[in-house]
A = this chain, B = another copy of it.
Amino acid sequence: MRVLYHFPLCPFSRVARLALAEKKLEFSLIVEKPWQEREEFIRLNPAAELPVLIEPDEIILADVSAITEYLEEVYQGDMILLYPGSAKNRAEIRRILQWINRKFYEEVTLRIVWEKYFKPNYGKGHPDPKVLRLGSTYLGYHLKYFSWILETRNWIGGNYFSVADLALAAHLSCIDFLGGMPWEAYPLIKNWYACIKSRPSFRPLLMDRVSGLAPSIHYMDLDF
């Protein structure tokens, strides 16, 4: 059986869950708290990071880019493509994917999710309003950029649905869980997210619960 080590509010784990579900591959989930640096987990991924995927043939995959590229190479046929189109299209998808998983993560997701969720729930102190404000300010810059992207093409990575859509939706869903998304100010992003949110692959994410915190009232609502 395929197993994914994940944590509910980890955006990278969410990308892997969405990619597996879009490929219609069955998998079971193991919740991992990577900051505990559990010995067995470090043996799977010495970087002590999520997600880690164990394939049915025991191949161990770590890192969200490596995992999604692997799924794309190995599971083709009539399955959905995560990196569709020409080499040029794929280069654009990868540029955006790296942007989201590195730049957006550092400037936005990390600040908001760490301060709002991890700090208070794991005894690291109270959320710092300055960091949260900075996260929200940068969230605005990025949403403006992605709104401009959606004015020029159908999807985040180009004219095809791709892993870039899954990645942005995964990060935004973590922020939305914590009530930090200014949906009304970004109608193009809101419409795009509503499309992604109604995909069957997204449903399990909407059922996620974490200890110590209820999701924002519209988190599960498909008509938010």
Q: A103 CA to B47 CA in the complex, in Å?
A: 8
**Interface segment out of the listed A17-25, A65-73, A113-121:** A65-73
A residues 26-59 in Cβ contact with B at 8 Å: 46-47, 49, 59
Task: State the Cβ distance, A95 to closest chain B Cβ, in Å.
Answer: 4
Cβ of A90 within 8 Å of any chain B Cβ, yes or no, is yes
Contact A70 B47 (CB under 8 A): no
This chain: copies in complex: 2
Docked-complex contact B70 and A87, CB < 8 angstroms: yes
Tell me if B103 and A91 are in contact (CB < 8 A).
no
Min C-beta distance of A209 to chain B, whole Å: 29
Starting from the known contacts A69-B94, A70-B90, 16 additional A-B residue pairs (CB-CB under 8 Å) come to: A47-B103, A49-B103, A59-B88, A59-B91, A62-B95, A63-B98, A63-B99, A65-B65, A65-B98, A66-B94, A67-B91, A69-B90, A69-B91, A70-B88, A73-B90, A74-B87
